[in-house]
């Protein structure tokens, strides 16, 4: 049974799915017809956060140019430049048992590449979602129904540890300033 979440909701992942050790996190989106004629390139980024809510350094940031983190326990599928088609546009594979103990949260974000430069924002994106699934099927889904009219980056959800178990939270927080703003919030300076 798939658990469908709303913004701010949290759900247990491993306690209600005994034996679950590996999950995939799919992110998907469509661009609206009134996008101004420019190509959209949305990117999934993953921040591996310690108890401070910050990354320890560049190794705590997983994205299309650094597709593996946390000693190989978090792996990004690679960059989808168009988002065309149905289903997941980008996927992240997580080996929950292998995530180092110092990593307390795995935060999933989506940004619009050069959103400011191209005059693009998440108001031009529809059907955005994040879902957690395993070999046995889809476990959790969060459809972002909110209208983000000026944001160029979204934190969509996070896996986090609580009392020795993994849980998932539907976040849905928008940011102006794109990837640079997100990186700054999570303790990573980018040029």
Q: Select from 158, 134, 161, 164 the least CA-distant residue to 20.
A: 134
Q: Select from 64, 1, 57 the least CA-distant residue to 27.
A: 64
* pLDDT, mean of residues 85-110: 92
Contacts of 100 (CB under 8 A, 6+ apart): 70, 71, 73
In the block, which residue shows the tokens 């300033």?
177
Work out the pLDDT band at 35, boundaries 50, 70, 90.
low
Is the four-CA dihedral 174, 176, 181, 185 of positive or negative sign? negative
- Per-residue pLDDT reduced to its tens digit, 105-122: 999 999 988 888 888 888
Polymer length of the chain: 191
Predicted local distance difference test score (pLDDT) of residue 123: 84
pTM of the predicted model as reported, rounded to 2 decimal places: 0.92
Predicted local distance difference test score (pLDDT) of residue 98: 97
- Per-residue pLDDT reduced to its tens digit, 165-182: 999 999 999 988 888 889
Query: Is residue 10 over pLDDT 70?
Result: yes
Phi, psi of 114 (to 5 degrees): 55, 40
Tell me whether residue 182 is exposed, middle or buried, using C-beta atoms within 10 angstroms of its C-beta: 0 to 12, 13 to 18, 19 or more: buried
């Amino acid at each position: 049974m798939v658990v469908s979440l709303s913004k701010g909701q949290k759900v247990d992942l491993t306690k209600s799915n005994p034996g679950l050790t590996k999950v995939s996190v799919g992110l998907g989106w469509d661009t609206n017809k009134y996008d101004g004629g420019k190509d959209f390139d949305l990117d999934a980024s993953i921040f591996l956060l310690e108890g401070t809510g910050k990354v320890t350094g560049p190794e705590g940031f997983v994205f299309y140019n650094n597709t593996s983190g946390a000693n190989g326990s978090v792996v990004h599928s690679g960059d989808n430049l168009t988002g065309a088609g149905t289903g997941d546009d980008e996927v992240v594979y997580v080996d929950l048992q292998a995530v180092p103990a110092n990593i307390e949260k795995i935060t999933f974000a989506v940004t619009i590449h050069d959103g400011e430069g191209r005059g693009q924002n998440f108001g031009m994106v529809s059907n955005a979602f994040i879902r957690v699934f395993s070999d046995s099927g889809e476990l959790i889904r969060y459809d972002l129904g909110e209208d983000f009219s000026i944001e160029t980056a979204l934190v969509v959800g996070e896996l986090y540890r609580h009392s020795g178990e993994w849980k998932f939270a539907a976040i849905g927080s928008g940011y102006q300033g794109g990837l640079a703003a997100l990186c700054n919030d999570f303790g990573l300076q980018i040029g």
